[in-house]
Amino acid sequence: MIKINDFVAFSQTIYSERPIVLHRPVFTQQEQEYVRDCITSNFVSSIGKRVDELEERLAKFVGVKKAVATVNGTTALHVALHCTGVRPDTHVLTQSLSFVATTNSISYCSAEPIFIDVDIDTLGMSPISLRNWLETNAKTTNEGAINNKTGKRIAACVPMHTFGLPCRIKEISEICREYNIPLIEDAAESLGSYVGRKHTGTFGIAGTVSFNGNKIITTGGGGAVLTNDLDFAKKIKHLTTTAKKPHSYDYVHDELGFNYRMPNINAAVGVAQIEKLNEILYHKKVVAQKYKEYFEAINIRFLQPINGTRSNYWLNGIVLDNRKERDAFLEITNANGVLTRPIWNLLSTLPMYKDCDADNLKNSKWLADRVVNLPSSVPKLD
């Protein structure tokens, strides 16, 4: 049993703020300066150099050929799925243990998610469960993988790197290649997380990140699609900018596009943020190390990346004994101004997804009862 009051006292040695929030962004003078420049130049909206700059710096940071900035992470995922050929009457394999945006973006394509269990150590899609499901339920054809039960195409697989812990993406990518299923990683939480020397979100046709206010770096709201395929990047850029053909004055839109582009004023914040990303990652690790020592000493599992992977420690978490202990922990910490949070309710339990196909989700259910997130902000930077 965890001594909850002792934990409250410990968290107050890491953070001096009251209450201690789950995650707050860190800003310096740079953000204000870049936003001020944006406003004085009038380039606040869909045209401006900060968007290009953010895209270039992000691509360089994660090691891909192109990044396309979007208005948030959900739209990044939606447009990446759309561009990959996720259409009505197709399936997308994903995990039930995730934030709702992962499956919502699948539904925006009028496709149907199928929920695959996660690994108990990574909290991300289990390659063993993925293979099991495919061996029992799918066949490969010239048009790709087909679900035997429904006859519908499996148009994509979307694993997610939970809280910044990389999932077994190499194995997943291998299985997807075998079955001819396009791989798109939801890397919204894992900017700065690696498998070996390769950044998460770069293993499939595309990966997506989020710059929401609670993520590792922020643009207020924002996101991006990462890809090594230049034609794919071009298509994404075209679709996110209303599918308008370049012309000096005429309005020609050659297909149904979206207004998903990131405004320049948000990108200005993003450039200032990405300049300090390495510093943020350093401080994240320092905070995680403190928690790790504390929880190791009292024999409670602190979430950590598996061997050969590196986490950005976006959100720290622990695994408690059972749901009752979890509820007591949430109740007492929150009453004492330490704003801990439970992991998400499984997406397969939500009203709009409860009838979707799923495997037994054994680990997902086990984790959903036991995992809580701990305050994980980095201290103020100079």
Ligand X SMILES: *Cc1c(COP(=O)(O)O)cnc(C)c1O
Give the list of residues 6+ apart from residue 119 with CB closer than 8 angstroms, or none: 125, 126, 127, 128, 167, 168, 363
Closest CB to ligand X among 4 and 114?
A: 114
Residue 72 near ligand X by CB under 6 A = yes
Q: Which of 2, 123, 160, 176 binds ligand X (CB under 6 A)?
A: 160
Q: Is 90 helix (H, G, I), strand (E, B) or coil?
A: strand
CB of 237 to ligand X, least distance (A): 18
Site for ligand X in 79-98 (CB under 6 A): 98
Question: CB–CB of 181/92 below 8 Å?
Answer: no
Q: Which of 7, 99, 194, 203 binds ligand X (CB under 6 A)?
A: 99
CB of 166 to ligand X, least distance (A): 14
Residue 122 near ligand X by CB under 6 A = no
Q: Which of 112, 117, 189, 359 binds ligand X (CB under 6 A)?
A: 189
Count the site residues for ligand X by CB under 6 A: 14
Residue 185 near ligand X by CB under 6 A = no
Residue 188 near ligand X by CB under 6 A = yes
State how far the Cα of 71 lies from the Cα of 178, in Å rounded to an integer: 34
Closest CB to ligand X among 105 and 304?
A: 105
State how far the Cα of 36 lies from the Cα of 137, in Å rounded to an integer: 55
CB of 211 to ligand X, least distance (A): 7
Q: Which residue is nearest to ligand X (CB)?
A: 73
CB of 72 to ligand X, least distance (A): 4
Question: CB–CB of 283/217 below 8 Å?
Answer: no
Sheet with 309-310, side-by-side order of all strands: 198-199, 194-195, 309-310
Residue 210 near ligand X by CB under 6 A = yes
Closest CB to ligand X among 210 and 340?
A: 210
CB of 201 to ligand X, least distance (A): 11
Residue 167 near ligand X by CB under 6 A = no
Question: CB–CB of 217/262 below 8 Å?
Answer: no
State how far the Cα of 322 lies from the Cα of 203, in Å rounded to an integer: 35
State how far the Cα of 304 lies from the Cα of 165, in Å rounded to an integer: 7
Residue 102 near ligand X by CB under 6 A = yes
Residue 223 near ligand X by CB under 6 A = yes
State how far the Cα of 36 lies from the Cα of 376, in Å rounded to an integer: 29
Distances (CA, A) of 142 to 86, 179, 283: 17, 11, 49
Site for ligand X in 320-359 (CB under 6 A): none
Closest CB to ligand X among 84 and 147?
A: 84
Q: Which of 30, 212, 228, 241 binds ligand X (CB under 6 A)?
A: 212
Q: Which of 185, 186, 359, 369 binds ligand X (CB under 6 A)?
A: 186
CB of 344 to ligand X, least distance (A): 9
Residue 270 near ligand X by CB under 6 A = no
* Class of residue 28 by CB neighbours under 10 A (exposed 0-12, middle 13-18, buried 19+): middle
Both structure tokens of 137: 């339920």
CB of 162 to ligand X, least distance (A): 7
Whether residue 19 has a cis bond before it, omega within 30° of 0: yes
Task: Tally the residues of the chain.
Answer: 382
Q: Which of 73, 113, 192, 201 binds ligand X (CB under 6 A)?
A: 73
State how far the Cα of 181 lies from the Cα of 92, in Å rounded to an integer: 9
Site of interaction with ligand X (CB under 6 A): 72-74, 98-99, 101-102, 160, 186, 188-189, 210, 212, 223
